[in-house]
Amino acid sequence: MAKRKINGIFLLDKPEGISSSSALVKCRAIFKAQKGGHTGALDPLASGLLPICLGEAAKFSSFFLEGNKRYLAQGTLGVVTTTGDREGEVVLERDIGDAVERLESVLEQFTGTITQVPPIYSAIKVDGKPLYKYARQGKEAEVEIPKRQVEIFELNLIEKTANTFTVEVYCSKGTYIRTLIADIGEALGCGAYVTHLRRTFVEGLPAGQMTTLDELQKLSNDREDKLNFSDLDSRLIAIEDALDNLPRVDIPLSIAQPLSNGVRQGTNFAEQILCQGGIKPNEMVQVRYHDYFMGVCYFTEDNVLVPKRLMDPELFREFLAKEKNLAQA
């Protein structure tokens, strides 16, 4: 069967044990999608929300994880690993002592704005090279890992045992949960690493709408008409819905047509939009013509509308043709 030109975001409940790339391949195969990508990769040991971007949605993948996030994380006390999780090599073991009894008070130190040093086994680039490549080459000492400030809005203790603890974390984008658990372990004086990690929510994406690979495969297998993908496609979120948290700007056809082809537009209404709509120069906005989502743009200081990511111009031409036909009917 030929691959399909479909556009949308599928909220996969990724299982533990497979990479985000492998999960993407499986989803694309089930949807028979021509193009696809994922955003916000989860480590193989992690489970939970992984947005799969099919078709045109892949262009906008960098915008889908801009919101705050929720995680469930289990940490094991008394052990430090190279990666900060159960897949790394053990580098240090310590007595737990009374760490479990002091958990609640120590967790309070990690709410609000905190500073993190991302793990060496991460995809952050230093001098154009991912940190994990330095680690694999044994060059950790040769690279200075940049610190970052993140916000921990909530850090709730869900469960604790003799040597483990489970927390729910509500945090800003860019937060490394492996680093958070390791830092909590250091504050307790015994060390800790992530045993299980699950992403449950991303602000801006619908809550409670994840689908597992098994559920998706069953939907596909149960189709009586193998050419009918309606049940599968009903699980997709429209690109414009996923980006509806961005400020909206509506433009006339005289601007929409050249903009759809990537042409910057000097606009005589930009100053009014910037002042009345509370939109700042260089702030990302969603641009629409008659409710048709054209893409993500921004205004310059000189009131020029600049495209950042745009939908395929052919889709806009199809929309205009349908609009014309409806008007003539």
- CATH superfamily, domain at 8-65+210-240: Pseudouridine synthase (3.30.2350.10)
Q: What is the pLDDT of residue 156?
A: 97
Instruction: Say which DSSP state 3 is in.
Output: P
Which of residues 183 and 65 earns the better pLDDT score? 183
pLDDT number for residue 294? 96
Give the pLDDT of residue 155.
98
Q: Is 142 exposed, middle or buried (0-12, 13-18, 19+ CB in 10 A)?
A: exposed
- Identical fold between 8-65+210-240 and 69-202: yes
Domain boundaries, the chain: 8-65+210-240, 69-202, 246-328
The CATH architecture to which 246-328 belongs is Roll (2.30)
Q: What is the dihedral of CA 79, 80, 81, 83, to 10 degrees?
A: 130
**Position 137 pLDDT exceeds 60:** no
Q: Is 152 left (phi over 0), alpha (psi -120 to 50) or beta?
A: beta
> What CATH number belongs to 69-202?
3.30.2350.10
Q: Which of 43, 183, 250, 302 is catalytic?
A: 43
Task: Kindly tell me if the per-residue pLDDT of 218 is higher than 60.
Answer: yes
Q: For the segment 94-119, what is each residue's pLDDT rounded down to a tens digit?
A: 999 999 999 999 999 999 999 998 76
| Tokens of residue 273, six digits | 């939009």
| Average pLDDT estimate for 78-90 | 92
Q: What are the residue ranges of helices labelled H in the chain?
A: 20-31, 103-107, 131-136, 177-188, 213-221, 230-233, 239-242, 253-260, 270-276, 313-328
Instruction: Give yes or no: 43 in active site.
Output: yes
Q: What does the DSSP 8-state code read for residue 146?
A: P
Structure-model confidence comparison of residues 272 and 10, the more confident one: 10
Predicted confidence (pLDDT) per residue in 254-286, tens digit: 889 999 999 998 766 666 666 556 788 899 999
Q: Which residues pair with 266 in a beta bridge?
A: 304
- What is the 8-class DSSP label of residue 150? E
SS3 per residue for 273-324:
HHHHCCCCCCCCEEEEECCEEEEEEEECCCCEEEEEEECCHHHHHHHHHHHH
Task: Tell me the average pLDDT across 16-26.
Answer: 94
